Amino acid sequence: MKNVKDINFSEKKVIIRCDFNVPIENGKIIEDQRIEESLKTINYILEQKPGLLLIISHLGRPKGKNVPELSLEPIQRRLAELVQREVFLIKTLDELAKTREGNSEQIYLLENIRFWAEEEDADDDFARKITEGFDVYVSEAFSASHRDHSSISRVPEFVEEKCAGILFKNELDQFMKIKNPQNHPAVAIVGGAKIETKLPVIKNLEKNYEHILVGGIIANEALDQGLEFGEKVLLPTDFKPDEKSRLDIGPKTIDEFKEKIKEAKTIVWNGPLGKFEDEEYAIGTKEIIDAIVSSKATYKLAGGGESIEAIKKFSDFSKFDYVSMSGGAMLEFLAGKELPGISALN
Ligand code: ADP
Ligand code: 3PG
Ligand code: MG
C-alpha cells in the first residue's frame, strides 16, 4: 500500500476521500475532530500544488436521497476556515465535470456522496464518472473503509495512482499493533451495545489476548443468551443497581477487571461498561478508564464513538497512546474481517 510520501502530487488532479461524518445539530458542527485530523493530508497535498483537488465525504445515512439537513454546507464552511482557502461545494456531476477547468488555489468539495444512490450500490459507472480527468485517489477515510461503497472500493480502481492518507495509514498502523500485540499480557475490554458486531471481535481477540473483559449491554445479552466463552473471557459477576436492572458493572466486577488491567502490557478498550451518561451508572466506566490510565501498559488504545465521549468526560486523550477516529471499521478490523477500503488500496 502506498502512502502520500510515495506520490508526487504536483500538477496532478487529486481526489481525497475523507470521513467528515461528524455530529451536526441545527446546521452547527458539534465536534470536528475528524475534519481536523484530515488536515495534515490535505495541507501536504496542497503544498505540492496539485492541478486540482476534489474532496469527497459522506454525512449520515440519507439513503440515496437529497436530505437538506445532511448537506455538507456546514463542513464546507469549517473546512474553508481551517485551510484558509475557498472551498466550493459541488452539487451535481455536471458541475463536477466543469471543475476540471478549475485551478489549484481552490478546493472542491462534492456534496454528500450518499445523496447518490449509486454510492451504496458500489456502482462502477458512477465511480468512472467521478474519476473522469482525475489522476490520483487518496483515502483518508479509514473509519468508512468497512463499507463496500463506490467512493471507498470502486473509485480507486479508475485512477492511475492511489494511496493511503496520513490519518488512514496511522489508524492502520495502530490497529496492526493491537491485532497482534507485541507486549503481553494483552488485555481487551469490550463493552457497549450491538452484540452481533462485538461477538466476532471477542472471538477473534481470544486468539492473541490473555484476557478479554466484557461489560455493558453486550455482557448482559451474553448472560441472558447463555453464550459460552473460553476461560480468557471474563463476564461481570455483579451489577448496579441490581441483578435485574443491569445498568452498570458492580464493585466486585470492577475489582476483578482492575486486577487484570493492572498487570497488562497492552490494553485495547472499546465500549462503555455501563450507562455512563447517567452519573449513577458511570462508576464502572470511570473506574475502568482510571485503571487503564494508571496502568503501566506500554500501549493503550481506545476507540468507538461513545467510548471517546466517556474519555472526554472522565479523562483525557493524552493519557492514551492512541484514540481512534474509527468505530465500526476498527471493530471489523479487530474481528479479522477484510475491509473493502483497505483491499482497494493494495
Ligand atoms: P462505542 O460507540 O464506544 O462503540 P456502543 O455504541 O457500542 O459504544 O455503546 C455505547 C452505549 O451503550 C452507551 O450509550 C451506553 O450508555 C450504553 N450502555 C453500556 N452499558 C449499558 C448498560 N449496562 N445498560 C444500558 N446502557 C448501556
Ligand atoms: C462512522 O461514523 O462510523 C463512519 O463514518 C461510517 O458511517 P456509517 O456507519 O454510516 O457507514
Ligand atoms: Mg456507539
Q: Residues in the chain with pLDDT < 70?
A: 102-104
Cis geometry, peptide bond prior to residue 200 (ω within 30 degrees of 0):
no
Residue in the structure block whose three cell numbers are 500500500: 1
Strand partners, 299: 266
Q: How far is the CA of 305 from the centre of ligand 3 (A)?
A: 5
Ligand 1 atom closest to 215 (CA): 20
Separation between Cα atoms, residue 196 and residue 252, nearest integer Å = 27
Residue 234 main-chain phi, psi, to 5 deg: -105, 125
Q: What is the pLDDT of residue 133?
A: 93
From the CA of 303, which ligand is nearest? Answer: 1
Q: What is the pLDDT of residue 104?
A: 65
Separation between Cα atoms, residue 271 and residue 218, nearest integer Å = 9
Separation between Cα atoms, residue 341 and residue 156, nearest integer Å = 9
Q: What is the pLDDT of residue 39?
A: 98
Strand partners, 322: 301
Q: How far is the CA of 321 from the centre of ligand 1 (A)?
A: 23
Contact between residue 285 and residue 216 where contact means Cβ atoms under 8 Å apart:
no
List CB contacts of 240: < 8 A, sequence separation 6 or more: 246, 247, 248, 249, 250, 274, 280, 281, 283, 284
Q: How far is the CA of 3 from the centre of ligand 3 (A)?
A: 29
* Ligand 1 residue neighbourhood (C-beta within 6 Å): 191-194, 216-217, 220, 246-248, 270-272, 274-277, 304-307, 327
Q: How far is the CA of 240 from the centre of ligand 3 (A)?
A: 21
Separation between Cα atoms, residue 19 and residue 77, nearest integer Å = 16
Q: 3-class SS at 140?
A: coil
Q: 3-class SS at 196?
A: helix
Q: Is the CB of 324 under 6 A from ligand 2?
A: no
Q: Pick from 143, 276, 288, 331 the residue to mutate for probing ligand 1's pocket: most ligand atoms within 8 Å of its CB.
A: 276
Distance, CA of 41 to chain centre? 16
Q: How far is the CA of 232 from the centre of ligand 1 (A)?
A: 22
- Other C-beta atoms lying within 10 Å of the C-beta of residue 265: 17
* Smallest CA separation from ligand 1 atom 26, residue: 275
From the CA of 193, which ligand is nearest? Answer: 1
Q: List, for residues 79-118, the tens digit of each pLDDT value.
A: 999 999 999 999 999 999 998 776 667 899 999 999 999 9
Contact between residue 187 and residue 213 where contact means Cβ atoms under 8 Å apart:
yes
Q: What is the pLDDT of residue 127?
A: 98
Separation between Cα atoms, residue 296 and residue 192, nearest integer Å = 25
Reference 285, options 332, 194, 215; nearest CA is: 215
Q: What is the pLDDT of residue 101?
A: 74
Separation between Cα atoms, residue 58 and residue 330, nearest integer Å = 18
pTM of the model: 0.91
- Other C-beta atoms lying within 10 Å of the C-beta of residue 176: 10
Residues belonging to the chain = 346
Q: Is the CB of 131 under 6 A from ligand 2?
A: no
Q: Is the CB of 170 under 6 A from ligand 2?
A: no
Running DSSP on this structure, what letter comes out for residue 238?
Answer: -
List CB contacts of 37: < 8 A, sequence separation 6 or more: 167, 325
Q: What is the pLDDT of residue 102?
A: 67
Q: H/E element holding 223?
A: helix 216-224
Strand 186-190 with 211-214, pairing: parallel
* Smallest CA separation from ligand 2 atom 6, residue: 144
Q: How far is the CA of 297 from the centre of ligand 2 (A)?
A: 30
Separation between Cα atoms, residue 206 and residue 217, nearest integer Å = 20
* Smallest CA separation from ligand 1 atom 18, residue: 275
Q: How far is the CA of 307 from the centre of ligand 3 (A)?
A: 8
Q: H/E element holding 16?
A: strand 13-17
Contact between residue 320 and residue 289 where contact means Cβ atoms under 8 Å apart:
no
